[in-house]
């Protein structure tokens, strides 16, 4: 059974703190994605990676950075957390094998609150 895990379900941080959100996939897939989910806005792509040490900006990269040192791990970094980064963060990776469908598996999400 494929699995995408995220390090925390809930996280509370203070303004200005450096925050790390970790995502691990056991599907041995090159592609990994970080989305942010806000009410009324759906999910929006922050960053994605097509391979180790590669990263690409998504639609809303401002205030975020990422790290991909190993194939299975993709970290989202908030260098200096701000209250407008309070949100749900979802990591995703495609299902291996059936590339024509490109089904993405999602982690359980991290609800981050910045005070």
Partner 1 sequence: AQTVTQSQPEMSVQEAETVTLSCTYDTSESDYYLFWYKQPPSRQMILVIRQEAYKQQNATENRFSVNFQKAAKSFSLKISDSQLGDAAMYFCALMDSSYKLIFGSGTRLLVRP
Residues of this chain, 94-113, that bind partner 1 according to CB under 8 A: 94, 100-104, 106, 108-109
Q: How many residues bind partner 1 (CB under 8 A)?
A: 23
Nearest CB to partner 1, comparing residues 31 and 75: 31
Phi-psi region of 42 (alpha: psi -120 to 50; beta: other; left: phi over 0): left
Q: How far is the CB of 74 from partner 1 (least distance, A)?
A: 14
- Compute the C-alpha angle 30/25/98, nearest 5°: 55
Residues of this chain, 20-79, that bind partner 1 according to CB under 8 A: 31, 33, 35, 40-45, 48, 58
4: tokens are 């995408």
User: In which residue are the tokens 């989305």 written?
Assistant: 35
Question: CA-to-CA distance for 115 and 112, rounded, in angstroms?
Answer: 10
Residues contributing to the site for partner 1 (CB under 8 A):
31, 33, 35, 40-45, 48, 58, 88, 90, 92, 94, 100-104, 106, 108-109
């Amino acid at each position: 059974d494929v699995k995408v895990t995220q390090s925390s379900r809930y996280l509370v941080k203070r303004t200005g703190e450096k925050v790390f959100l970790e995502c691990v996939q056991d599907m041995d897939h090159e592609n990994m994605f970080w989305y942010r989910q806000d009410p009324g806005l759906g999910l929006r792509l922050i960053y994605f990676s097509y391979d180790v040490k590669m990263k690409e900006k998504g639609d809303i990269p401002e205030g975020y950075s990422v790290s991909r040192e190993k194939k299975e791990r993709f970290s989202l970094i908030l260098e200096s957390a701000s209250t407008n980064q309070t949100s749900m963060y979802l990591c995703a990776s495609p299902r291996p094998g059936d590339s024509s469908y490109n089904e993405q598996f999602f982690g359980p999400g991290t609800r981050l609150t910045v005070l």
